[in-house]
A and B are shown apart, each in its own frame.
Chain A
Amino acid sequence: MNFTLRVWRQPNSRTPGRLESYPARNIDPNMSFLEMLDVVNEQLTLENREPIAFDHDCREGICGMCSLVIDGEAHGPEERVTSCQIYMRSFKDGATITVEPFRSKAFPILKDLIVDRSALDRIIQSGGFISVNTGQAPDANALPIGKDLAEQAFDVAHCIGCGACVAACKNASAMLFVSAKVTHLGLLPQGQPERDRRVRAMVSTMDAEHFGNCTNQYECEAVCPKGISAANIARLNRDYALASLKGMFTKKSESAGGG
């Protein structure tokens, strides 16, 4: 198969970028999108030109590194997959394919298609610890958790933090990501002691990182490779409201360090 790529090229975060065209020839339909980019980069290297920089790691859809907006869709035209799990058979032979980075003020472009997503890490960090006793591993059934609750928590624990929700959101909001992280621990008994503090801290960090606000359009859940539902954002809203309300009536202890 043959394609024409329109790829975003940008040397660094300070220099403005632009779309440039490259031919991709003799591409096997069963190649992944990233493998196709590898082939193009091989050719560029042979021609002594700068290869296209893009993020990738596991290439099996679980690490959350790959981050391409393909033809205007975060993680490309297929549902519930990451960019690395897009195969060239999904495109028409001879098609022109536009490849752009995840665009958000919170994700500065480092080079070409690589963006800095450490803002998401800082949100996780601000979530802090959970109180688990040290010592021997607890007995398997010492802390019973209902099947349904365990599954719900697991559904959101699928979040790989790729940031596609931010990329697809009309407002570059990170609320699907934050709601997944807040819900994951908020549903489980182990997450209860710090639940209120956690949701308040994570929302406050999210705001400080210049992400946008949710306007309830659910573009995020449509592109999420892990199919995380935007209904979790409603749970985030609920949790934050209750935590803030409780916070207004509680005085912070002078001696509480770290948390």
Chain B
Amino acid sequence: MFKQFVASSLGRKYLMALTGTILFSFMVVHMLGNFQVLLGPEQINTYAHMLQSKKPLLWSFRLFLGLMALTHITVGIWLWLDNRRARPDHYRQERTQQAGLASRTMIYSGALILAFFVYHILHFTLRWLNPEFAGFTGRIPGVEEPVADVYRMMNQGFFDAGVSLTYIVAVALLAWHLSHGIPSLFQSLGLRNDAVSRFLDRFGWAVAFLLFLGLSIIPAALFAAVRGAIYLR
């Protein structure tokens, strides 16, 4: 019964909506956490140390998010393949009535976001792309041993214009993905009617845009600050 429910067309839509909501919520938390880099080294390094010192909690959280992302991706591809099979022969002439471009390119924006995610992990989490980041350490009050200097790592990371631009383009893509995803999740979970549908569409765009602003301000501000400091000196 449960298996049948999850494999059904509607069941998979719920899965997309629920996992999408969780991943989106994480992005909001991630953004708020990273805002602390704008408040200086002590603030962000204390926050990073607080997260790093709770290994079991950190790893269960990562495992949970990974599972959510995996479900979102797998079910998304499964649905996409199903949908392609549902119309084996295409229209020779087709006029789209009201489906937005974002809604028609979800699989591509999703794939690009995944590619960026891999890059992001290699860049700042595993630090394979910049092994020198691992050597950045600093001190924070109340802790004896030196801790990871996330402040310096982020400043160094976003010193490069190409890297900063990649991050900004990636979060723009994420916002684009969410501009359809947010209104869509309400529909999929059955929380939409004619009275709220226009509001939900605008709400989706507004939230996506705010997330884009919030996430892009970090690489933009760090890049501008570091370059500006050098220029002024």
Partners in one complex: yes
Chain A residues with CB under 8 Å of chain B are 6, 8, 19, 69, 71-73, 98, 100, 103-106, 168, 170-173, 175, 203-204, 206-207, 210-219, 222-223, 229-231, 233-241, 244, 247-248
Whether the Cβ atoms of A104 and B87 lie closer than 8 Å is: yes
**Residue B11 at the chain A interface, CB threshold 8 Å:** yes
Whether the Cβ atoms of A103 and B90 lie closer than 8 Å is: yes
Given the known inter-chain contacts A168-B97, A223-B97, please indicate yes or no for A229 contacting B194, CB distance below 8 A.
yes
Contacts of A247 in B (CB 8 A): 1, 5
Which residue of chain A has the shortest Cβ distance to B106 in the bound complex? A215
Whether the Cβ atoms of A237 and B10 lie closer than 8 Å is: yes
Contacts of A72 in B (CB 8 A): 91, 93-95
Whether the Cβ atoms of A248 and B99 lie closer than 8 Å is: no
Q: A72-B95, A213-B83, A217-B104 are in contact. List 6 more A-B contacts (CB 8 A).
A: A8-B92, A98-B92, A170-B99, A214-B13, A216-B183, A230-B187
Residues of B in contact with A, size category: 35 or more
Min Cβ gap A225→B in Å is 13
State the CA gap A69–B92 with chains docked (Å): 10
Contacts of A213 in B (CB 8 A): 9, 12-13, 79, 82-83, 86
Min Cβ gap B21→A in Å is 14
Whether the Cβ atoms of B5 and A244 lie closer than 8 Å is: yes
Whether the Cβ atoms of B91 and A237 lie closer than 8 Å is: no
Residue of B5, B87, B90, B99 with highest tally of chain A CB at under 10 A = B87
Contacts of B13 in A (CB 8 A): 213-214, 237
Secondary structure dominating the interface of A: mixed
Whether the Cβ atoms of A235 and B190 lie closer than 8 Å is: yes
Given the known inter-chain contacts A212-B83, A215-B103, A216-B103, please indicate yes or no for A103 contacting B91, CB distance below 8 A.
yes
State the CA gap A116–B184 with chains docked (Å): 31
Interface string of B86-116 (1 = CB under 8 A from A): 1111111111111110011010000000000
Contacts of A207 in B (CB 8 A): 8-9
Residue of B2, B12, B83, B191 with highest tally of chain A CB at under 10 A = B83
Task: Write 8 A-B pairs (CB below 8 A) sorted by A numbering.
Answer: A100-B93, A171-B82, A207-B9, A215-B184, A216-B188, A219-B99, A222-B97, A237-B14
Whether the Cβ atoms of B98 and A98 lie closer than 8 Å is: no
State the CA gap A175–B103 with chains docked (Å): 17
Min Cβ gap B134→A in Å is 43
Partner of A106, one of B2, B12, B86, B186: B86
State the CA gap A13–B82 with chains docked (Å): 21
**Residue B189 at the chain A interface, CB threshold 8 Å:** yes
Whether the Cβ atoms of B83 and A215 lie closer than 8 Å is: yes
Whether the Cβ atoms of A248 and B187 lie closer than 8 Å is: no
**Residue B197 at the chain A interface, CB threshold 8 Å:** yes
Whether the Cβ atoms of B104 and A236 lie closer than 8 Å is: no
Min Cβ gap B15→A in Å is 12
Min Cβ gap A113→B in Å is 13
CB under 8 Å from chain A, chain B span 141-169: none
Given the known inter-chain contacts A231-B197, A237-B189, please indicate yes or no for A73 contacting B97, CB distance below 8 A.
yes
Contacts of B4 in A (CB 8 A): 204
Partner of A19, one of B9, B90, B92: B92
**Residue B193 at the chain A interface, CB threshold 8 Å:** yes
Min Cβ gap B70→A in Å is 19
State the CA gap A102–B127 with chains docked (Å): 53
Whether the Cβ atoms of A100 and B83 lie closer than 8 Å is: no
Given the known inter-chain contacts A170-B83, A203-B9, please indicate yes or no for A103 contacting B89, CB distance below 8 A.
yes
Partner of A241, one of B14, B85, B88, B95: B14
Whether the Cβ atoms of A211 and B10 lie closer than 8 Å is: no
Which residue of chain A has the shortest Cβ distance to B2 in the bound complex? A248
Whether the Cβ atoms of A206 and B190 lie closer than 8 Å is: no
Contacts of B94 in A (CB 8 A): 72
Contacts of B123 in A (CB 8 A): none
